[in-house]
């Protein structure tokens, strides 16, 4: 692309934006690059292959499905970057083909040989010893054969429904008693579904060798089709549209409506992708394409096992020498040694507390906060948002139910439409209602994505509110692998804001403005545009933002305007970025980097104002600057749930909270500085859309750096108190 064409006046060229879908594929390419990196522990590379596969499945189930739906409906809407649905699908197909070829090559040619050297093997069937074949035969008869159901396809047996993400075998057989026609007998087709209850890779008794489940079934097809001649056996995998279509404005009971939609998802949804292995018979492939109502471009030929998300079974091997060193999250020093539930609130009342997961423990901070509230007799009420919850156990949900049983006023706002967590959330919603918790499902037409907890406590003759605002879900498992921040505060204005917001979500309210919180979809967009414009108006304007995705055209254009005014802008964007950085006359003062490593970068942090140690700039020669613009002021920091995407700013309930405490601002600054300094896990986005690893000597690994910061904080507390952390 000619970058001179890109550097056009603002608002006049769609080329100032990257395409959302193609940008996401580039993020998944960075995930795949982790699997390609020989410096990463071997089983961690296996893990990244599994993550890459899971990511791609979700991309097809949601994003590609949406584009195909637009085509089927005859819609030809053009994206901000100027692409039609058909153009996007064509480019997606081309990029995906390259990525899945890379994945297969990495697994077959790089990871498998390295695993073999480490004693972890995927043996060919022909290389198995007789005792291995005997064991697998017994395993098949005992665990596999009873749950298999071959389905014939012929005039009296219609083509069966192929469920989403299912692994299947297309089996071609010939009946030896059929009469010959032109010297041959009729070929018959059957489908065998591999039940999801079976392991993707079966571990042999030595615990270090794995055989793909479809190879085992294929070896014993004679048990499924006795007295038939097996002509061919071809694995295939289907991906379907998983997007929900529920009108919560018309639903009398949203919970029941969601359950109906989920049932429909399991038995409907258009096919959007067919994965096959090389060598599938042409007639079989054509049959699948016709019956699944696909185009040839919707077929991906994979040179290796299908559905590599099943590699999680290999990653779970107890081989610590092949994984990253174990990291046990530390208790935040401020919260260490709390022996009584009331002490938790005493700590927060004295000073705000910031916790940084997974470096600091979710269990001894967020879970402990809710458990303390449930047990404390002085607590009158608990209000909680739940976007993603854990199964089968959720300590926070359990604590809420115990609080309700103890007579406290407990409100849980459960988001039923949290994608792919709907079943878990419905289960918990019913359990909470049965326990006496007031369960609500948010605002009509909006997802509630904000991460909020509110505890109301009687203290003498006064009522005090304690609040937790975070960037991550209230989910104990993801808190060990997602990087997130959260703040506990007893600030009166924040407590009143959160209380007002909960009242808006559970009742009727037209409240738009809050004291300290920035709230979507009412004012967050305008507030962010105002903060960006304020930096553009200052000679020392500075913006540093860390987020998962940057898509919103209005925010991107505002950042372009700020860059044009000389504002220095650093964006740390893990995933999608539609902003084009480094283009003269458009974004020459904007830098974009992405960090992909051991922990999933998930926190949203927004900083506006000059670097804390940066001297005040002098006015340029001949320039008159108003005193109000040169007056020294501190950097403003906000954390919260919102990415900079239209869905977050316009169609979700989101919150950002200011970081008020000076010590906490310093910690947020340290987190941003670690990300900006990273030259081990980081990638830089070029003006042409390419991502390149940050050049350097690999001196700063932000994940290791933040682990050391957490250890240093714990050590300082130990040194000053004499108490071990």
Give the model's pLDDT for residue 258.
Answer: 45
pLDDT above 70: residue 575:
yes
Give the model's pLDDT for residue 261.
Answer: 47
pLDDT band with cut points at 50, 70 and 90 for residue 626: very low
Task: Determine whether 183 is exposed, middle or buried from the number of CB atoms within 10 Å of its CB (0-12, 13-18, 19+).
Answer: exposed
Grouping H, G, I as helix, E, B as strand and the rest as coil, residue 83 is coil
Give the model's pLDDT for residue 422.
Answer: 60
Q: Which residue has the higher pLDDT, 695 or 363?
A: 363
Residues 55 and 41: beta-carbon distance below 8 Å: no
pLDDT above 50: residue 627:
no
pLDDT above 80: residue 540:
yes
pLDDT above 50: residue 250:
no
- CA–CA separation, 17 and 7 (whole Å): 12
Same fold for the pair 333-506 and 519-611+635-721: yes
Judged by phi (left if over 0) then psi (alpha if -120 to 50, else beta), residue 581 lies in: beta
Class of domain 123-307: alpha beta
Considering only CA atoms, which of 624, 655, 622 is closest in space to residue 638?
Answer: 655
> 462 forms bridges with which residues in the sheet?
459
What is the CATH code of the structural domain delimited by 333-506? 3.30.870.10
Residues 6+ away with beta carbon under 8 Å from 186: 174, 175, 178
Grouping H, G, I as helix, E, B as strand and the rest as coil, residue 62 is helix
Q: What is the mean pLDDT of residues 276-295?
A: 94
Give the model's pLDDT for residue 88.
Answer: 96
> 592 forms bridges with which residues in the sheet?
571
Give the model's pLDDT for residue 267.
Answer: 47
**DSSP code of residue 304:** S
Residues 27 and 594: beta-carbon distance below 8 Å: yes
pLDDT above 60: residue 720:
no
Residues 604 and 542: beta-carbon distance below 8 Å: no
Instruction: Give the pair of three-digit tokens for residue 365.
Output: 């901070």
Q: What is the mean pLDDT of residues 446-475?
A: 94
Specify the fold of 519-611+635-721: Endonuclease; Chain A (3.30.870)
Around 276, how many Cα atoms within 13 Å sit in the side-chain half-sphere?
19
Q: What is the mean pLDDT of residues 150-165?
A: 88
**DSSP code of residue 190:** E
334, 340, 342, 345: CA torsion to nearest 10: 20
Give the model's pLDDT for residue 625.
Answer: 45
Per-residue pLDDT tens digits for 25-75 = 999 999 999 999 999 999 999 999 999 999 999 999 999 999 999 988 888
Considering only CA atoms, which of 287, 273, 173, 308 is closest in space to residue 230?
Answer: 173
Of all residues in the chain, the percent with pLDDT exceeding 70 is 88
Task: Determine whether 126 is exposed, middle or buried from the number of CB atoms within 10 Å of its CB (0-12, 13-18, 19+).
Answer: exposed
Q: What is the mean pLDDT of residues 562-577?
A: 97
- Cα 486–489–493 angle (5° rounding)? 120
Per-residue pLDDT tens digits for 369-391 = 999 999 999 999 999 998 766 66
| Residue for token pair 């995407």 | 645
Per-residue pLDDT tens digits for 167-221 = 999 999 998 887 776 667 788 999 999 999 999 999 999 999 999 999 999 999 9
> 470 forms bridges with which residues in the sheet?
486
Q: What is the mean pLDDT of residues 299-319?
A: 94
Domain parsing of the chain, residue ranges: 123-307, 333-506, 519-611+635-721
Instruction: Give the pair of three-digit tokens for residue 661.
Output: 């405490």
H-helix segments, 76-202? 85-105, 112-117, 130-139
Specify the pTM: 0.90
Task: Determine whether 639 is exposed, middle or buried from the number of CB atoms within 10 Å of its CB (0-12, 13-18, 19+).
Answer: buried
> Out of 395-399, 415-419, 569-573, 592-596, which region has the weakest mean confidence (pLDDT)?
415-419
> 457 forms bridges with which residues in the sheet?
379, 464
Q: Which residues are catalytic?
A: 449
Q: Where are the beta strands (DSSP E) in 123-270?
A: 150-153, 167-174, 187-194, 201-203, 210-212, 229-240
pLDDT band with cut points at 50, 70 and 90 for residue 619: low
pLDDT above 80: residue 246:
no
**DSSP code of residue 125:** G
- CA–CA separation, 699 and 37 (whole Å): 17
| Residue for token pair 């901070």 | 365
């Amino acid at each position: 692309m000619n970058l001179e064409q890109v550097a056009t006046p603002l608002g006049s060229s769609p080329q100032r934006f990257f395409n959302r879908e193609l940008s996401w594929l580039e993020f998944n390419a960075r995930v795949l690059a982790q699997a390609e990196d020989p410096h990463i522990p071997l089983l961690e590379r296996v893990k990244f292959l599994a993550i890459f596969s899971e990511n791609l499945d979700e991309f097809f189930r949601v994003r590609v499905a949406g584009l195909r739906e637009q085509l089927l409906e005859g819609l030809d809407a053009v994206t901000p970057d100027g692409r039609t649905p058909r153009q996007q699908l064509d480019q997606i197909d081309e990029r995906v083909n390259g990525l899945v070829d890379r994945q297969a090559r990495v697994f077959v040619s790089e990871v498998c040989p390295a695993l073999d050297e480490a004693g972890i093997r995927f043996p060919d069937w022909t290389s198995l010893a007789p005792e291995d074949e005997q064991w697998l035969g017994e395993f098949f008869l005992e665990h596999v054969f009873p749950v298999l159901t071959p389905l014939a396809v012929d005039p009296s047996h219609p083509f069966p429904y192929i469920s989403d993400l299912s692994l299947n075998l297309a089996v071609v057989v010939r009946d030896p008693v059929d009469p010959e026609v032109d010297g041959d007998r009729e070929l018959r087709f059957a489908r065998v579904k591999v039940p999801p209850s079976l392991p993707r890779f079966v571990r042999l008794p030595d615990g270090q060798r794995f055989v793909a489940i479809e190879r085992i079934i294929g070896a014993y097809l004679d048990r499924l089709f006795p007295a038939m001649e097996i002509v061919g056996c071809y694995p295939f995998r289907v991906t379907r549209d998983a997007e929900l279509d529920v009108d919560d404005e018309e639903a009398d009971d949203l919970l029941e409506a969601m359950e109906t939609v989920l049932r429909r998802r399991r038995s409907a949804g258009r096919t959007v992708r067919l994965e096959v292995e090389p060598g599938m018979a042409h007639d079989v492939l054509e049959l699948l394409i016709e019956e699944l109502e696909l185009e040839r471009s919707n077929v991906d030929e994979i040179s290796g096992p299908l559905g590599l998300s099943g590699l999680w079974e290999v990653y779970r091997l107890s081989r610590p020498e092949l994984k990253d060193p174990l990291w046990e999250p530390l208790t935040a020093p401020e919260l260490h040694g709390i022996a009584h539930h009331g002490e938790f609130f005493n700590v927060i009342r004295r000073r705000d507390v910031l916790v940084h997961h997974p470096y600091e423990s979710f269990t001894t901070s967020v879970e402990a906060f809710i458990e303390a509230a449930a047990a404390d007799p002085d607590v009158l009420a608990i209000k909680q948002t739940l976007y993603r919850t854990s199964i089968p156990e959720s300590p926070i949900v359990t604590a809420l139910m115990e609080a309700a049983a103890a007579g406290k006023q407990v409100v849980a706002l459960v988001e039923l439409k949290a994608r792919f967590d709907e079943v878990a959330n419905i289960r918990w919603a019913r359990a909470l209602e049965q326990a006496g918790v007031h369960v609500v499902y948010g605002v009509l037409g909006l997802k509630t994505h904000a991460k909020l907890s509110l505890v109301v406590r009687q203290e003498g003759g006064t009522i005090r509110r304690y609040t937790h605002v975070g960037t991550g879900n209230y989910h104990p498992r993801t808190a060990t692998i997602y990087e997130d921040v959260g703040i506990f505060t007893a600030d009166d204005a924040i407590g009143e804001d959160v209380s007002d917001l909960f009242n808006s979500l559970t009742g009727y309210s037209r409240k738009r403005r809050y004291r300290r919180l920035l709230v979507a979809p009412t004012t967050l967009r305008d507030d962010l545009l105002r903060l960006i414009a304020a930096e553009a108006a200052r000679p020392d304007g500075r913006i540093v933002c860390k987020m998962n995705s940057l898509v919103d055209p209005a925010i991107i254009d505002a950042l372009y305007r700020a860059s044009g005014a000389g504002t220095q802008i650093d964006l740390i964007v893990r995933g999608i970025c539609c902003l084009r950085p480094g283009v003269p006359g458009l974004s020459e003062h904007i830098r974009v980097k992405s960090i992909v490593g051991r922990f999933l970068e998930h926190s949203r942090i927004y900083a506006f104002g000059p670097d804390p140690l940066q001297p005040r700039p002098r006015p340029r020669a001949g320039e008159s600057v108003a005193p109000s613009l040169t007056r020294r002021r501190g950097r403003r920091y906000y954390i919260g749930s919102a990415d900079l995407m239209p869905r977050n700013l316009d169609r979700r309930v989101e919150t950002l909270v200011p970081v008020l405490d000076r010590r906490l601002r310093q910690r947020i600054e340290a987190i941003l500085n670690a990300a900006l300094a990273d030259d081990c896990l980081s990638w830089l986005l070029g003006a042409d859309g390419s991502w390149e690893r940050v050049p350097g000597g690999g001196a700063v690994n932000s994940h290791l750096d933040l682990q050391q910061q957490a250890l240093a904080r714990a050590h300082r507390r130990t040194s000053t108190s004499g108490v071990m952390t």
